[in-house]
């Protein structure tokens, strides 16, 4: 293990207002044997300061000792889905990362803040800088640009724990760190990464991805936004719908047709900057049933000039860029429902043991025991599927479309069921807005629709099988 990796600090900053110039860092690897799942009880949501201290750079002796320790590493260190020099995190790394994200949540994303975000439908603007200072916005990005190069298991851990605290804040986080930052990491040129990643990873700028249109959701080829070649670049015209972070985004990955007659081979991905793009606007912020506060908008492009240097990937190669990130998007987003299921249990379990009927805690009634057991089992099964799929990406470099789609398909549908069961366990209180059960349910339902509906995910899995067994059909 390199001394550079050893020197990355694992602990979140304890100072309430970290310096913007301070470098963000989360990790000092250790060795363990098992992945630490979320604890059965939600972390306390008080805003009292943590006693955790910032970890200093280790001494040379410690660095040498770690460097000489044999490590179990895999072929994924050279896989194109990961940054240069990537080493899969150990189970100890992931367990400690989970603890640090929980520390962050205790300080910065309390139950009061989560409820306020849902009630007001406004994302807390200062959260981006806090996420950046904590090192959470560049989990899969190059270290040279401020990222942590930790891979997809780590990204799932962060996504799960943020979702446990607030589904909407976590969704905006994923749109920034996965749909934008990771797309740049996978497909950006060296110059594009140097230009855009540092500010995105630090939280100084907000990222988004714009593919869906009012008439083209899962049907990518049906998009109507065009990009006409002109001297020095392209001119974009059209609109995008349901864009997470759209009202706030400074940097947006936008898909448009550069050759409308070429179908899927005529789409290109562009990096559009709000500040330098006259003609770009957010027509409206959308009012959603759930994921409120994860600001979502309709974007309009009217003769927006994009320089040729801002083409992401190759001209007419946009579908490849999209598909390269789509499997990993589904994988990381599948951790969102995990956090919501854990949040539902965090609410239901204490309530069921404190609430008495007929002189007995309702958790002692067999029907309620069965419901709680089913909630827990669904969470654990979904968690195992998601992290097994992420582990295969990190350790083997294997990205299986059917498993990335299957993980979010299963987790999303189970999350809606678990949220409904949480409401039932709480009874009348579950129907009251003063409890978070309603918010959990409304947030969970989005995962059966966003990033491809459950129906599309089933179709994706079926098509993967068709491709795998095509030789038997000839």
* Residue pLDDT, tens place only, 136-172: 999 999 999 999 999 999 999 999 999 999 999 999 9
> Mean pLDDT across the stretch 108-132?
96
Q: Inform me whether the pLDDT recorded for 198 exceeds 90.
A: yes
- Answer yes or no: are the C-beta atoms of 182 and 141 closer than 8 Å: yes
* % pLDDT > 70, the chain: 82
Please report the domains of the chain, with CATH numbers, ordered by start residue: 3-206 (1.10.540.10), 209-320 (2.40.110.10), 324-472 (1.20.140.10)
More confident residue, 35 or 436: 436
- Reference 411, options 339, 329, 334, 333; nearest CA is 334
pLDDT of 323 higher than 60: yes
What are the tens digits of pLDDT across the range 342-382?
999 999 999 999 999 999 999 999 999 999 999 999 999 99
Q: Quickly state the pLDDT bin for 274 (edges 50, 70, 90).
A: very high
Residue 2 is predicted with a pLDDT of: 37
Q: What is the pLDDT of residue 217?
A: 65
What is the reported pLDDT for 81?
79
pLDDT at 83: 84
Give the Cα separation of 474 and 470 in Å (integer): 7
Tell me how far apart the alpha carbons of residues 457 and 451 are, in angstroms, rounded to a whole number.
Answer: 9
The Cα–Cα gap between 405 and 425 comes to: 30
User: In this structure, what are the phi and psi dihedrals at residue 23, rounded to the nearest 5 degrees?
Assistant: -80, 140
Q: Pick the closest to residue 282 from 269, 292, 295 (CA basis).
A: 295
Per the CB < 8 A criterion, the answer to whether 145 and 201 are in contact is yes
**Rounded to 5 degrees, what angle do the CA atoms 425, 341, 47 make?**
95
pLDDT at 378: 98
Q: Is the pLDDT of residue 340 over 50?
A: yes
Indicate which residues carry an active-site annotation.
329
Burial category of 362 from C-beta neighbours within 10 Å (exposed 0-12, middle 13-18, buried 19 and up): buried
353 - beta bridge partners? none
Q: Which of 174-188, 280-294, 320-334, 455-469 is least confident?
A: 320-334
């Amino acid at each position: 293990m390199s001394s550079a990796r050893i020197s990355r600090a694992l602990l979140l900053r304890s100072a309430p207002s970290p310096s913007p110039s301070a470098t963000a860092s989360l990790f000092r690897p250790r060795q363990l044997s098992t992945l630490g799942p979320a604890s059965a009880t939600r972390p306390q949501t008080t805003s009292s300061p943590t006693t955790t201290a910032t970890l200093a750079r280790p001494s040379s002796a410690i660095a040498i000792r770690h460097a000489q320790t044999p490590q179990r590493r895999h072929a994924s260190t050279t896989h194109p889905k990961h940054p240069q020099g990537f080493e899969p995190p150990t189970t100890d790394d992931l367990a400690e990362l989970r603890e640090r994200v929980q520390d962050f949540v205790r300080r910065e994303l309390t139950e009061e803040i989560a409820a306020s975000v849902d009630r007001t439908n406004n994302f807390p603007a200062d959260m981006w800088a806090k996420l950046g200072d904590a090192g959470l916005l560049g989990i899969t990005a190059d270290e040279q640009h401020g990222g942590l190069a930790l891979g997809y298991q780590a990204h799932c851990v962060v996504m799960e724990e943020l979702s446990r605290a607030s589904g909407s804040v976590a969704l905006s986080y994923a749109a920034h760190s996965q749909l934008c930052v990771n797309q740049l990491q996978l497909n950006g040129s060296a110059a594009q990464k140097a230009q855009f990643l540092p500010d995105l990873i630090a939280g100084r700028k907000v990222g988004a991805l714009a593919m869906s249109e009012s008439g083209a959701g899962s049907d990518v080829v049906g998009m109507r936004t065009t990009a006409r070649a002109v001297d020095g670049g392209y001119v974009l015209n059209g609109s995008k719908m349901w864009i997470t972070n759209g009202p706030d985004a400074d940097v947006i990955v936008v898909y448009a047709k550069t050759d409308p007659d070429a179908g899927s081979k005529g789409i290109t991905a562009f990096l559009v900057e709000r500040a330098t793009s006259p003609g770009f606007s957010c027509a409206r912020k959308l009012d959603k049933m759930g994921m409120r506060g994860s600001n979502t908008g309709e974007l309009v492009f009217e003769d927006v000039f994009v320089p040729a240097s801002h083409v992401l990937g190759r001209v007419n190669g946009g579908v490849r860029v999209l598909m390269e990130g789509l499997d990993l998007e589904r994988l990381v987003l599948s951790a969102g429902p995990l956090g919501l299921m854990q949040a539902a249990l965090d609410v239901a379990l204490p309530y069921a043991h404190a609430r008495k009927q007929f002189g007995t805690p309702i958790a002692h009634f067999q029907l309620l025991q069965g419901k709680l057991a089913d909630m827990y089992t669904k969470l654990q099964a979904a968690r195992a599927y998601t992290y097994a799929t992420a582990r295969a990406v990190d350790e083997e470099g294997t990205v299986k479309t059917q498993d990335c789609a299957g993980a979010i398909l299963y987790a999303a549908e189970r999350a809606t069921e678990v949220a409904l069961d949480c409401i039932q366990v709480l009874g009348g209180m579950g129907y009251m807005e003063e409890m978070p059960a309603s918010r959990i349910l409304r947030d969970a339902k989005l995962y059966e629709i966003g990033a491809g509906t459950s129906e599309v995910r089933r179709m994706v899995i079926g098509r993967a099988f068709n491709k795998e067994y095509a030789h038997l059909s000839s």
